[in-house]
Structure 1
Amino acid sequence: MSNDKDSFNVGDLTAALKDEDRAGLVNALKNKLQNLAGQHSDVLENLTPKIRRRVEVLREIQGKHDEIEAKFREERAALEAKYQKLYQPLYTKRYEIVNGAIEVEGAQEDVKMDQGEEKTAEEKGVPSFWLTALKNNDVISEEITERDEGALMYLKDIKWCKIEEPKGFKLEFFFDQNPYFKNTLLTKAYHMIDEDEPLLEKAIGTEIDWYPGKCLTQKILKKKPKKGAKNAKPITKTEDCESFFNFFSPPQVPDDDEDIDEDRAEELQNLMEQDYDIGSTIREKIIPHAVSWFTGEAIEGEEKEAGLRSTMDNKGRGLLSASNSKMLCVLSEVPCKAKCLRIEEREAVPETSPDKPSVSASDSLEQACMFFFLQTPRNQKVFFSNR
C-alpha cells in the first residue's frame, strides 16, 4: 500500500519551478529531497511485512492529518486577510497623526505663557516617530548607524502586504522629500519557497537613487599625495560601509550552486537568515506595535519575556503543578499579529513528581501564561505569520 502524498518526482518539482528563476538554493533543495526519497524507500524495504503494514496505516493517518492541516492553513489565511483589512483604518489614522495631517483633540489648546516668553514654532505630528521606534528594537538598532539617523528622520510610514506570485511579503518604506535620495518609496520583497517553514528563495530591494555625495552605504577615503609630487591631488577611494540602507541590497544567491564553496554557502545562508530576521521583525513587531516601540513600552515587555525565559531555563523543563485543580493559561498569538491573550480553562495536570520544577499557586496569571508560552514547542504555538 502506498501513500500518493509521499511519492516524490523530481520532474514534477522541476515543472512547478520552471516559471520562476530559482537560484542555487532550490537546486540544493531538489538534491536533498531526492536523497531523502531514496532513504525513505530503503527504510520501508528493510521492514518485516507486519511492521511495514503498521507503518502504512500510520502513513494513512498522517495523510488525514495533512488534509486537516491544509484546511487549517487555508482558513488561517482567510482569517488573516480579514483582520488585516480591519487594521488598515487604524494604520491610516496613525499615519495622519504621526505626520501632522490631522490634529488630536486637545492638542491645540492654548497654553498660558509667562509674560515676555517668546513663542516658538510648534512641530507638527510626532517628529522622528519611526526612527525612534526602529532604534528601540535590538534587532533593528544594530543596523542603524549615526549617519543613517538623518535620513531616517524623513521616514513617514512603514507598511507591509502579502504577495502571491511568488508567495511572500513586501515591506514598504515611505519617505518625505529629503537631501539624501530621490526615492519617496523604498521596498523590500521576500519571495518564499514555503511560507510555513519558512523557506526563503530570495529577497529583492529597491535600488536607491542617492544624491551626489550623500550615499550612506559607502564612504569616501582621501589619502594625501606623496611628498614631492607636483600639482598632486588627494587620492580618493570609495569603500562600502555599514548602514541600515544596506537592507535594500540583500545577499544574492548565485544561479549555480557549484559556483560557491561550502564556507561561502554557509556565510551566505547566515546573511540571508539575518536579513529575513530583520524583515520579519519589522513586519511582525514594529509595524503593528509602532507606538509601543516609540515610547519604549515594548522594550520592557521584551526584557520581561527574556527574564522569564531565563528563569524557566534555570528551573528546567517541568510541569506546572499545584494541589487540587487550578487554571492553566495558554498564551497564543491571534491572527495578524494582534498579540492578544486567550485564556482557556484547563484541568491542571496532577503533580507526578515532587522533583518536577513548578510555578507556585501564588504566581501571577501573567507569569503562568508566559510559562506555558515559553515551554510550548514553536511548531505547537498558534503563529499567524511566516515565522
Structure 2
Amino acid sequence: MLNVANNSEVSSTSTIVNAKEPNNLPMVPATNHSRSRSRSGSRSRSPGVICDSMNLSPSEMPSNSRRAFLQHMVDSLPKSVYNRVLALKHNQLQQIKISEQFFREVYELEKRFYLQSCTLFDSRRDIVAGDVEPPAIERYWHEEPDDLLEKIKSSEEFKQLTVQLHHLPANAVGVPRFWLTVFRNVSLISDLVQEHDEPLLECLVDVRINYEPDSYTVVFQFRPNLYLHTSSLLLTKKYILRHEADKDYPFMFEGPEIVRCEGCHIHWRDGSNLTLQTVRQKRLRKGARNIPKVMPRESFFRFFSPPQAMDLSLADEKTKMVLGADFEVGYLLRTQIVPKAILFYTGDIVDNVNDDLCSVENTSASLSSLSHVDQDVQKDCRHCLSINSVNS
C-alpha cells in the first residue's frame, strides 16, 4: 500500500522529513490503486528462496515467503483452533470500525485547529506580500550549534554552490520568491517546477487549505501578473477522501485515504500558457512553409489538470503512478508545507531524499556533484506526475 504520510527524524538543530519512507504516522492517506498494485505485485513476484537453512523464524524470511508460510500454518490448524482464529479476525474487524471513527475525529480535530491558525496565516501572507512590516524581532528560541553543518559551510564545494543563490536588494518588498523557494526546497514538488514556471510562481502570495467533511482543497493565491487572467488568480486542487476501510481489503486500513483529485481550469492570458510551447517543424521540402506547431510541455501548472480515473482499479499503470505521486503531493501540502512553510524556507525542515548519495565522510565530494546526481536519482513515480501529465 502506498502510504504518503511523513516520517520525521528530529535532531537538536533541525527536523528531517522523509517523504519516501512514510510508514510510521497514524494518518496515512493511500489509494485503492496503490493497494491493488502492491498486492498484485506481491502475488506476481517470485516468492524467492527462503534460505538454505530451514531453521529460520518467520521474521527472517522474505515477506512473500513469510506470508505463504503463515497462511499455510493457519490452514493447517485443527478445525477448532482455526475457528478461533477466524473469531479473532472478526474481532479485528470490529476494532477497524472503531479506528474509522477515531481517524474521522482526528481529521475534524485537524480542521478545528487549522481554523484557529488562520489569523496567523493571514499575517504570514501579509508579511510575504509586503503589505505589513513587522517590528524588529529578537530570536528567543534556542538552537544548538551543529558541528557537521559548520563543517559543510566551510568547505570550498559548499561556497561554490552558494554562488547560485539569488541575492535580494536591501529595499526588497516583503519576502520575494517565498513560495517558489519553499517549493524548490522540497524534492517532491521541486521535480514538478520547471524553469519557465518560476516567474509565475514568484507571484504566488499564499497557499491555504479549505476543509470539508470528505475532502479538502488546496488554494493557491497569485497577485496580478502577465500570465494568468484576473479570473484565475485563485487556482485550486481538490482531494476527495474516504474515511472507511476498503470493503475488499479491510485489514489494510490505516486511516483516511485520498481516492480522487480534481483540478481547475486555468484562464491564461494570450500567448502565456506555460503548459504549452511553440515548436517550428523542419521543412520537408525546399520552399515549403515552416508552420509552427503548439505542443504540450512539462510544467508545474499541469498539477491542476490531473488525469481522471473514476475507477482506479481499471486505470492503467501510468495513470496509477501519476495519481499516486499527485496524492502524495496533496497530502504533503496539507500536513506539512502549508502549516510549516517558513520552516521549509529556512531549512529547519528538509527532506532527506538525497541522503543516500553521501555520508559524513564524503559530504564534500557529494556536494560538488549533487546537482548532477539529483537528475538521475529522482526519476521515480514522483517525477511521473509532470512527465506523464504532458501526454495525458
Please tell me the TM-score bracket, short chain as reference: 0.5 to 0.7
1:286 aligns with 2:316: no
Q: Where does residue 297 of structure 2 map in the other structure?
A: 241
Q: Structure 1, unaligned stretches of length 5 or more?
A: 1-23, 33-42, 108-119, 312-387
Q: Which amino acid aligns with 2:306?
A: P
User: Normalising by structure 1, what TM-score?
Assistant: 0.56
For the 8 Å contact 1:131–1:153, the answer to whether it is kept is: yes
How many residue pairs match? The answer is 253
1:180 aligns with 2:238: no
Deviation at 1:184, TM superposition (A): 0.7
Match of 2:60 in 1: none
Question: Secondary structure in 2 aligned to 1:174?
Answer: strand
TM-score in terms of structure 2 length: 0.56
Write the letter of the residue equivalent to 1:247: F
One-letter code aligned to 1:144 = V
Name the stretch that deviates more: 86-95 or 194-203: 194-203
Q: Following TM superposition, by how much is the alpha carbon of 1:240 offset from its aligned partner in structure 2, in angstroms?
A: 1.1
Give the match's secondary structure for 2:277: strand
Q: CA deviation at 1:75?
A: 3.7
Alignment-derived partner of residue 184 in structure 2: 135
For the 8 Å contact 1:99–1:125, the answer to whether it is kept is: yes
Q: Which amino acid in structure 2 is aligned with residue 274 of structure 1?
A: A
User: C-alpha distance in 2, partners of 1:203/1:71?
Assistant: 23
The alpha-carbon deviation at position 273 of structure 1 amounts to 0.5
CA shift for structure 1 position 228: 4.3
**1:205–1:250: 8 Å Cα contact kept in structure 2?**
yes
Q: What is the aligned partner in structure 1 of residue 276 from structure 2? A: 218
Kindly tell me: are residues 221 and 67 of structure 1, through their superposed partners in 2, closer, same or farther at Cα, counting changes over 3 Å?
A: closer
Aligned equivalent of 1:192: 241
Spell out, residue by residue over 1:218-251, the C-alpha distance to the aligned partner (whole angstroms, 9 max, x if none).
111013545642xx54211121111101101112
- Summarize the Cα distance change of 1:201–1:94 in structure 2 as closer, same or farther, 3 Å threshold: same
Aligned counterpart, 2:266: 208
Query: How do 1:152-191 and structure 2 match up within 5 A?
Result: 152-164=201-213, 167-182=214-229, 183-191=232-240
Q: Which one scores higher on RCO, CA 8 angstroms, separation ≥ 6?
A: 2
For residue 99 of structure 1, what is the aligned residue in structure 2?
129
Contact between 2:238 and 2:262, CA under 8 Å: does it hold in 1?
yes
What do the CA deviations read for 1:30-52 (whole angstroms, capped 9, x no partner)? xx9xxxxxxxxxx9999755224
Of residues 123-132 and 81-90 in structure 1, the stretch that sits farther from structure 2 once superposed is 81-90
1:65 shift after superposition: 2.7
- Within 1, Cα distance between the matches of 2:201 and 2:92? 50
Which deviates the most, 247-256 or 211-220?
Answer: 247-256
In 1, distance between residues paired with 2:191 and 2:33? 27
Bigger Cα displacement from structure 2, 279-288 vs 184-193: 279-288
Larger Rg: 1
Aligned to 2:220, what secondary structure does the other structure show?
A: strand
For residues 29-44 of structure 1, the aligned pairs below 5 Å read none
C-alpha separation between the residues in 2 aligned to 1:78 and 1:199? Answer: 15
- Taking a change above 3 Å as real, the CA distance of residues 233 and 121 of structure 1, as seen in their structure-2 partners, is farther
Q: Answer yes or no: is the 8 Å Cα contact 1:194–1:200 preserved in 2.
A: no
Paired residues for 1:56-71 under 5 Å:
56-59=86-89, 61-71=91-101
Distance of aligned partners of 1:86 and 1:227 in 2 relative to their CA distance in 1, 3 Å threshold: same
- AA at the equivalent of 2:264: T
Structure 1 equivalent of residue 322 of structure 2 = 271
Q: Secondary structure at the match of 2:119?
A: helix
Whole-angstrom distance in 1 between the partners of 2:195 and 2:312? 38
User: What percentage of residue pairs aligned between the two structures are identical?
Assistant: 30
1:131–1:304 Cα change, 3 Å? closer
What does 1:302-321 align with in structure 2 at a 5 Å threshold?
A: 302-303=351-352
Letter in 2 for 1:296: G
Q: Distance in 2 between matches of 1:124 and 1:92?
A: 17
Tell me the amino acid that sits aligned with residue 241 of structure 1: R
